[in-house]
């Protein structure tokens, strides 16, 4: 059994199908999705349908992304948040309206079931964005930070690379976990890029919503596979570009 982590999809179902095939996923593998399943390309409804079906065949762990929460809020309230619409929500709204509201119920159940964070048996933490509490995720005061925070990645990038968790200057919130896997902050919006590690934090958002690829990584070996640049799979669409 292998464990794989998948970065931000942003409705790029065609890219998701590519990376699962290229990674050679087996039925006993564990797939950990870091959130932001929608908002970007035109396959929002179809992407969630695919993930729901995938969960019946594989062991899947689905984390909550900020775009998933924005979509859920719209589906429940029908209020069109201008921030959401400006950052990929239009394509998601149109996809769901095309599918018809009679088909939304099991998608709402999917969004509501998403986890804010997940910790595996090797003390690796997975979450969409970050956290701020020095004692770790169990002590976080505001759960929205799990899918909105950007300071965790900024902290990891700014850290002196010679520091280790044993050093007094190593940030307290990072010492609780062997590794942390996040998405949320795209590593590039203009072209292909690979996953990056800073301190003990891996950023898996390789810009699938923009002009980058979707990435899947084996968390043990760090071997990774990428889709074609997602925009080439959706000609005539803008995604979040």
Task: Give DSSP secondary structure letters for 27-93.
Answer: TT-EEEE-S--SSSSS-HHHHHHHHHHHHHHSEEEEB--HHHHHHHHHHHH----HHHIIIIIHHHH
Per residue of the chain (241 residues), give pLDDT as tens.
999 999 999 999 999 999 999 999 999 999 999 999 999 999 999 999 999 999 999 999 999 999 999 999 999 999 999 999 999 999 999 999 999 999 999 999 999 999 999 999 999 999 999 999 999 999 999 999 999 999 999 999 999 999 999 999 999 999 999 999 999 999 999 999 999 999 999 999 999 999 999 999 999 999 999 999 999 999 999 999 9
Please give the pLDDT value at position 143.
Answer: 97
The percent helix, strand, coil of the chain (3-state, each to 5) is 35, 15, 50
The ranges assigned to domains in the chain are: 3-233
122 alpha carbon, distance to own chain's centre: 20
- CATH 1.10.10.10 assigned to domain 3-233? The reply is no
How many Å apart are CA 58 and CA 28, to the nearest integer?
A: 7
């Amino acid at each position: 059994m292998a464990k794989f982590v998948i970065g931000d999809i942003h409705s790029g179902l065609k890219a998701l199908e590519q990376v699962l095939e290229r990674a050679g996923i087996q039925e006993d593998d564990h797939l950990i999705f870091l959130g932001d399943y929608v908002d970007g390309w035109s396959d929002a409804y179809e992407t969630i349908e695919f993930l729901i079906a995938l969960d019946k065949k594989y062991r899947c762990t689905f984390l909550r992304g900020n775009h998933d929460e924005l979509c859920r809020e719209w589906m429940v309230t029908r209020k069109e948040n201008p921030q959401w619409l400006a950052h990929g929500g239009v394509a998601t709204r149109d996809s769901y309206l095309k599918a018809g509201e009679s088909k939304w119920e099991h998608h709402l159940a999917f969004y509501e079931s998403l986890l804010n964070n997940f910790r595996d048996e090797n003390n690796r933490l997975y979450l969409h964005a970050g956290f701020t509490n020095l004692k770790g995720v169990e002590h976080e005061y505001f759960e929205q930070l799990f899918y909105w925070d950007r300071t965790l990645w900024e902290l990891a990038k700014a850290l002196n690379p010679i520091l280790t968790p044993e050093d007094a200057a190593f940030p307290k919130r990072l010492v609780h976990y062997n590794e942390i896997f996040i998405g949320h902050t795209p590593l590039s919006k203009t072209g292909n890029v690979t996953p990056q590690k800073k301190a003990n934090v891996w950023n898996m958002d390789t810009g699938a919503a923009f002009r980058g690829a979707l990435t899947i990584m084996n968390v043990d070996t760090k071997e990774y596979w990428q889709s074609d640049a997602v925009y080439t799979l959706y000609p005539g669409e803008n995604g979040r570009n």
